[in-house]
């Protein structure tokens, strides 16, 4: 995989702008298909903050709504018609929006997919390694369970590329632990209310389980366990501020957070600007490596303590910055303001 340094990104921008911020900067399009989800909100804010911090973006054209692949095709085509220089997209599907992405490339528009990869060969992809994300958390969970028992498997959105990759990682870990079974498998749609109701229904059904793996819907799952006054089981989630706080504060909770930075949106913006500046990656797929913080090891507890940030929304990942990629400040990403706003 290719990892590009911040120095290379800055150098590319300086080369493209004659050593200073452009007088007439770029117009960058953003396409996102999920609203009301803290991870996606941080992602968009990171895109805005990085565009502002770069000094190379004059304006953003943002299509940010709840829609499907068909709706995203329409949004991307509208961005093409608007004449943007690049499009940073969190794709609704790995394949279903390829026609519009190819049209963008044909129009000379740089396309960068973040969080979830697309199969269109003209596009660049930058994301957390989603398969490894699931594998790390599932392996840790199965070990905590002693390699035996049933897991509530709480997935993301059916058909989404990240969910498919995570499922591959989860199944890879299961293959290493033949004593582990799935008590119940559900799709949360990455929606907090939906995920909480699903675990409450599972608890009420009396289905036995000894662990819970969640695809980023985590703090509300812990809330449901506590509110239901059932025995706590090990829980794996993402590095969302609310869940990270629970790992440090909820008595009797054994759990682990696996990093999945919403700030990948900012990295995608940086990558798009780097390509516009003439510095393209050698490969079209760039991965950020996830890490796991648990509350049972000294190292994990120390990382969790350091990661606490009361200024963040509970649904926002605490990994607000990605070294080597993002250059904005904490205040800038929390303000969620782009150029001209």
> Within a domain: residue 304?
no
> Within a domain: residue 278?
yes
Q: Do 134 and 248 belong together in one domain? A: yes
Q: Do 53 and 72 belong together in one domain? A: yes
pLDDT at 17: 38
User: Among 193, 117, 207, which Cα is nearest to 162's?
Assistant: 117
| Secondary structure element (H or E) that encloses residue 304, with its range | helix 298-307
pLDDT at 24: 57
Q: Do 18 and 71 belong together in one domain? A: yes
- Give the domain CATH number at 155: 3.40.50.2300
Those residues of the chain that have pLDDT short of 50 are: 1-23
pLDDT at 1: 35
- Residue 252: left (phi > 0), alpha (psi -120 to 50), or beta? left
Distance, in Å, from the CA atom of 268 to the CA atom of 29, rounded to the nearest integer, reads 12
pTM of the predicted structure, to 2 decimals: 0.83
**Which residues, listed in sequence order, are joined to residue 187 by a DSSP beta bridge?**
155
Q: Do 10 and 107 belong together in one domain? A: yes
Please, which residues have CB within 8 angstroms of residue 95's CB and are 6 or more apart in sequence? 118, 119
Q: Do 19 and 102 belong together in one domain? A: yes
Q: Do 173 and 65 belong together in one domain? A: no
Q: Do 26 and 134 belong together in one domain? A: no
pLDDT at 8: 39
Q: Which domain holds residue 330?
A: 6-129+261-289+320-335
51-75 residue pLDDT tens: 999 999 999 999 999 999 999 999 9
> Within a domain: residue 302?
no
Structurally, the chain folds into a number of domains equal to 2
> Within a domain: residue 55?
yes
**Token pair of 164, please?**
């498919």
Q: Do 159 and 65 belong together in one domain? A: no
Distance, in Å, from the CA atom of 69 to the CA atom of 82, rounded to the nearest integer, reads 20
DSSP category for residue 317: B
> Within a domain: residue 171?
yes
**Token pair of 297, please?**
């090891």
Counts of helices then strands in the chain (DSSP H, E): 12, 12
Distance, in Å, from the CA atom of 149 to the CA atom of 88, rounded to the nearest integer, reads 42
> Within a domain: residue 341?
no
Angle between helical axes of 69-82 and 98-106 (0-180°, round to 10):
10
Q: Do 13 and 84 belong together in one domain? A: yes
Distance, in Å, from the CA atom of 333 to the CA atom of 266, rounded to the nearest integer, reads 9
Q: Which of 258, 274, 298 is the last residue of a domain?
A: 258
User: Among 65, 77, 67, 93, which Cα is nearest to 29's?
Assistant: 77
Q: 3-state SS of the chain: helix, strand, coil percent to 5?
A: 45, 20, 40
Q: Do 241 and 152 belong together in one domain? A: yes
> Within a domain: residue 312?
no
Asked if 216 and 237 count as a contact pair (C-beta separation under 8 A), the reply is yes
Count CB atoms within 10 A of the CB of residue 325.
Answer: 26
Please, which residues have CB within 8 angstroms of residue 130's CB and are 6 or more apart in sequence? 116, 161, 162, 165, 166, 169
C-alpha torsion sign, points 262, 263, 266, 272: negative
Q: Where are the alpha helices (DSSP H) in 122-186?
A: 130-144, 161-176
Name the 3-class secondary structure at 143: helix
Q: Do 164 and 21 belong together in one domain? A: no
> Within a domain: residue 313?
no
Q: Do 69 and 93 belong together in one domain? A: yes
């Amino acid at each position: 995989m290719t990892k590009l340094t911040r120095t290379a990104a800055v150098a590319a921008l300086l080369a493209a702008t004659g050593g200073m911020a452009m007088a007439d900067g770029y117009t960058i399009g953003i396409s996102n298909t999920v609203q009301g989800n803290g991870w996606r909100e941080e992602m968009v804010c990171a895109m805005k903050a990085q565009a502002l911090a770069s000094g190379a973006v004059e304006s953003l054209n943002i299509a940010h709504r709840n829609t499907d692949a068909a709706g995203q095709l329409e949004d991307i085509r509208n961005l093409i018609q608007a004449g943007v220089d690049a499009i940073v997209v969190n794709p609704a599907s790995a394949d279903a929006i390829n026609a519009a992405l190819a049209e963008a490339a044909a129009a000379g528009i740089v396309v960068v997919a973040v969080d979830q990869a697309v199969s269109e060969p003209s596009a660049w992809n930058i994301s957390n390694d989603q398969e490894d994300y699931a594998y790390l958390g599932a392996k840790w969970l199965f070990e905590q369970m002693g390699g035996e028992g049933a897991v509530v498997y709480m997935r993301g959105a059916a058909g989404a590329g990240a969910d498919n990759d995570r499922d591959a990682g989860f199944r890879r870990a299961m293959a290493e632990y033949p004593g582990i079974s799935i008590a119940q498998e559900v799709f949360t749609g990455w929606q907090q209310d939906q995920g909480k109701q699903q675990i409450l229904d599972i608890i009420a059904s009396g289905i036995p389980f000894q662990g819970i793996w969640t695809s980023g819907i985590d703090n509300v799952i812990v809330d449901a366990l506590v509110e239901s006054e059932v025995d706590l089981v090990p829980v794996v989630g993402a590095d969302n501020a609310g869940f990270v706080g629970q790992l440090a504060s909820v008595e009797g909770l054994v759990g682990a957070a696996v990093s999945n930075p919403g700030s990948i949106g900012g990295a995608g913006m940086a990558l798009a600007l780097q390509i516009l500046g003439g510095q393209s990656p050698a490969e079209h797929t760039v991965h950020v490596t996830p890490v796991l913080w648990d509350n049972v090891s000294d190292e994990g507890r120390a990382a969790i303590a350091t990661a606490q940030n009361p200024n963040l929304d509970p649904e926002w990942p605490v990994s607000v910055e990605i070294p080597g990629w993002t250059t904005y400040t904490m205040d800038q990403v929390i303000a969620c303001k782009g150029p001209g706003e």
